[in-house]
């Protein structure tokens, strides 16, 4: 059992006898004294892929789902199917774009991920919290760009668009938060 306030993205929960993976979490603080904090959680059914919204009070206890984690490597894309290789058994498996979702914006060939297996069947993969990606296109840097919070649009090697600081140029490698899709810093 886990408290609703302790749930993180990619947690697996047993809700009404079905396994769900947490996609997004938003915290809603009470507006009145004595009110309790609400956690609005969007989950995806690991069998059907159907998305569902749930609301829980911060002290509510939820049942964690039983699953196995295994290291995998992203191999290639074929149509809407993403192919991965199990790093322990070297077996290959495919997941449809519906099960990958927005994570496709951060996948690079050869990237190591974690697969979630339920009863020996891969249901989804989880990304690391941060990835390093190369900026392929962005507006030119301004010479007088200061270290202020001014941003510009950039396109990464995966085709993902995000806002980056003005001082960045094409070809630079940056760190991106896979949970929010936001720029973190230059890669070192």
CATH architecture of 130-186: Beta Barrel (2.40)
- Pick the most confident of 30-39, 59-68, 136-145: 59-68
At the topology level of CATH, where does 2-64 sit?
A: SH3 type barrels. (2.30.30)
DSSP-assigned states of every residue in 41-96 = EEEEETTT--EEEEEEETT-EEEEPP-EEEEEEEEEEETTEEEEEETTT--EEEEE
Q: How many CA atoms lie within 13 A of 106 on its CB side?
A: 25
For Cα atoms 138, 184, 41, give the angle at the middle one, nearest 5 degrees. Answer: 110
Going from N- to C-terminal start, the domains of the chain cover: 2-64, 68-126, 130-186
What is the C-alpha to C-alpha distance for residues 10 and 62, in angstroms, rounded to an integer? 15
130-186 has the same fold as 2-64:
no
| pLDDT tens digits along 61-115 | 999 888 888 999 999 999 989 999 999 999 999 988 877 878 889 998 999 999 8
Prediction pTM value: 0.71
Query: Domain 68-126 has what CATH class?
Result: mainly beta
């Amino acid at each position: 059992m886990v408290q609703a306030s302790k749930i993180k993205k990619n947690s697996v929960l047993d809700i009404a006898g079905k396994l769900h993976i947490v996609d997004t979490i938003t915290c809603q603080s009470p507006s009145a004294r004595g009110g309790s904090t609400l956690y609005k959680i969007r989950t995806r059914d690991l069998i059907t892929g159907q998305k569902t919204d749930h609301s829980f009070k911060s002290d509510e206890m939820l049942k964690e789902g039983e699953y196995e984690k295994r290291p995998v490597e992203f191999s290639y894309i074929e149509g809407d199917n993403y192919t991965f290789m199990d790093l322990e058994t070297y077996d290959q498996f495919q997941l449809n774009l519906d099960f990958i979702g927005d994570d496709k914006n951060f996948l690079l060939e050869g990237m190591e991920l974690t697969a979630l297996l339920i009863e020996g069947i891969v249901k989804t993969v989880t990304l690391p919290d941060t990835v390093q990606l190369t900026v392929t296109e962005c507006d030119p840097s301004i010479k007088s760009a200061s270290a202020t919070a001014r941003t510009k649009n950039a396109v990464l090697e995966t085709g993902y668009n995000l806002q980056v600081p003005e001082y960045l140029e094409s070809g630079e490698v940056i760190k991106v938060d896979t949970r929010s899709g936001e720029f973190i810093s230059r890669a070192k």
